[in-house]
Amino acid sequence: MAKKGAMESMIGSLTKAEKRYFRLFSELQQGDKKYLELFNILEARMNGSDKDLRQLNCADISVTKNYLGKLILKSLKGYNEGKTKRSELLHLLLEIEILFHKELYDPCLDRIKKAEKIALKYENYTMLLELFGWKKRLLSALHATSAHAKIKEVMSREQQTLEKLNNLDQYNRLLYEVMDQDFSDRKSMLDYFDHPLLQDNSCAKSFGALTIYYHLIYMLHIVTSNPVNGQKALDALIETMESVPFRIEEDPSAYVTALNNSMGMMLYNKEAGAAVEVLKKIRTIPERYHLKQKQYTLKIFIKTYNVELELYRDLKDWDKARALMSEIQRFLDIHIIPTNYLLSFYYQFAYIHFQCKEYSLSLTGINRIINDNFGTDRMDLQTYARFLFLMIHFELGNITLLKYAVENTRRFLRKRRSKLFAFESVLLKFFSQLSTSLPYEYKERFEKLSSALFQGHSEKQRSNILDYLDFESWINAKLLKG
C-alpha cells in the first residue's frame, strides 16, 4: 500500500460536512481553480480511483498543493469558528485587537467583558491574562488621568489569576514527575503522599488542579497496592467532573478516561456486570452532554462496543455477545468507521459465531476479512482470521478444500514476513495432514497437535495467542469427543 502524502492525509481527515464546506468556501475564491481540481483528484484516488495527477494541467503541482493546503486550513478555521470556547475566545481576542486599534472603545470593552466571563468559567487563565492586558490598555485610553485605581484592580485580578495558573502548573509538574518514577519502588511512591500539594483537596485552587489532585491520589493508591482507596479517589474525581457538566460538554476526554479507569478497576476486581454498566454509561455521554463533535461521538461508540464484545468473549458469555452483535451491526449499517475497527468487529463476529457452532455465519464474517482489502491494518487479526478459516472448513466437513486453504494461508504469511512463528508452522502442517487423513485418524492428529503447538513459546506468548483464537479449547473439545 502506497504511503499517504501530507495532502492526502489532510483530505482523508475531513468529514463529509467539512468537505462540503470547503467546496462552498472555494466558490467564493477568485482566480484559477486548479487547486479544486487537485482536491477532487486526490479525494477520488483515496476512494479507489485510478485518476492520474498528470490529468491536472498545471505548471507546478507542488505550488498548487501548497495553496490547496492553505485554503483547506482557512476553510477549517471558518467551519470550526465558535465550536469550542477556546476558538470563541480567540475570535473575540482578534475582534478586541481590531476594535482597539480603530479606537472603537465601547464595543471593544463589551467584547472584553464577554470574553472574561467565558475565560473565567472555563478557567482559561492564559487568555484571561491577555484580556487583562487589553483591559489595562483600554482603561488608559479611556481615562488617561484617572485610570490608576481601575488599573490597580485589574492588576490585583491578574495576580490572583497568576497564582491559580502557578498552582495548576505545580500540579501538572507533579503529575509528570510521578509518571516518570519507577512504580515498583513502593516506598518512593508512598513518600509522595507527604507532598504539600497532596495533603488535602483544598490545596487545589481551581477545577483543573482539583481533577489532577484526585487523579494523582488514585494513581498513587493503585501503584502502592491499595485499590480500595484508589477506587474512592477515582469516584471523587468522577463526581467532581459530573458536578461541572459544561466542562464535559466542552471536552469530554478526561471524563471518558476517568470512566475507563473505573471500568478497569471493576474488571480487575472481577466485577464484569458493573464494568458493562460503566461502558453503557460512557455511550450515553454524547446524548447526556449534547456533544457536537460527531467524530468523537463515533469513537466513543466504536471503542466501548469493541471492549464490551471482547469482555463477553473472555467470559464466554455467547448469548450476551450475540445480542450485542446485533446492536453493533445496526450501528455499522449507518456509520463509516475506521478500517482497523471494522476488521476487529468482523473478526469478533466470526469468532463468536464459531463458538456458537454457527459455522456458515462464521465463514461469512471471515470471508469479509479475506476478500476485502484491509492493507496492513491489524495484521495479527488478519493472520488469526486465516487460521479460523481453516478451522471453520474442518467443522463444515470441507476437508478437500483444506489443502488449498493451507497453501493460501502460507502464501499470505510469507508475503508479510520471511519466517513463520513456530505455532504457525505447526498449525499449517496439522491442517495439511488433516486434509489427507481419514476420520478415524483425526484423534491422533489432534493429540500430536496438542503436544506440539506451543513448544518453544513462553507462557506470555501462549496467552497472547490464545487471547485471539483459543486453539486449546478447540483441540480439547475434539479430543473429548474422540
Span 176-217, pLDDT tens digits: 999 999 988 999 999 999 999 999 999 999 999 999 999 999
Task: Domain count for the chain, please give it.
Answer: 4
Whether residue 346 is found in the same domain as residue 466: yes
Would 13 be classed as within a structural domain?
yes
Our CA angle for 205, 211, 212, nearest 5°, is: 85
pLDDT digits (tens, 9 = 90+) for 414-472: 888 878 888 889 999 999 999 999 999 999 999 999 888 877 777 877 787 777 889 98
Q: Which of 146, 172, 196 is a domain's end point?
A: 146
Q: Which of 337, 365, 398 is a domain's end point?
A: 337
Would 208 be classed as within a structural domain?
no
Whether residue 405 is found in the same domain as residue 469: yes
Q: Which of 287, 319, 337 is a domain's end point?
A: 337
Whether residue 345 is found in the same domain as residue 481: yes
Whether residue 93 is found in the same domain as residue 44: no
Q: Please list, residue by residue across 228-238, b when 16 or more beta carbons sit within 10 angstroms of its beta carbon and e when fewer do.
A: eebbebbebbb
Whether residue 315 is found in the same domain as residue 342: no
Whether residue 108 is found in the same domain as residue 125: yes
Write the DSSP symbol of residue 194. Answer: G
Q: Map residue 182 onto helix, strand or coil.
A: coil
Q: What's the number of CA atoms in the CB half-sphere (13 Å) around residue 446? A: 20
Please write down the HEC assignment for all residues of 81-146.
CCCCHHHHHHHHHHHHHHHHHCCCHHHHHHHHHHHHHHHHHCCCHHHHHHHHHHHHHHHHHHCCCC
Whether residue 375 is found in the same domain as residue 454: yes
If we measure between CA atoms, which residue out of 237, 178, 185 comes closest to residue 212?
237
Would 462 be classed as within a structural domain?
yes
Whether residue 317 is found in the same domain as residue 306: yes
- Other C-beta atoms lying within 10 Å of the C-beta of residue 203: 16
Would 15 be classed as within a structural domain?
yes
Whether residue 473 is found in the same domain as residue 360: yes
Would 227 be classed as within a structural domain?
no
Would 174 be classed as within a structural domain?
no
Separation between Cα atoms, residue 252 and residue 300, nearest integer Å: 10
pLDDT digits (tens, 9 = 90+) for 206-263: 999 999 999 999 999 999 999 999 999 999 999 999 999 999 999 999 999 999 999 9
pTM score: 0.79
Burial of 83 (0-12, 13-18, 19+ CB in 10 A): exposed
Would 1 be classed as within a structural domain?
no
Separation between Cα atoms, residue 180 and residue 48, nearest integer Å: 45
Find the domain containing 91 and state its range.
85-146
Whether residue 107 is found in the same domain as residue 66: no
Asked whether 7 and 15 are in contact (CB, 8 A), the reply is: no
Would 351 be classed as within a structural domain?
yes
Q: Map residue 14 onto helix, strand or coil.
A: coil
* pLDDT at residue 347 is higher than 70: yes
Q: Map residue 292 onto helix, strand or coil.
A: coil
Whether residue 359 is found in the same domain as residue 454: yes
Which segments of 269-376 does DSSP mark as H helices, in order? 272-283, 285-288, 294-315, 318-334, 339-355, 359-371
Whether residue 342 is found in the same domain as residue 461: yes
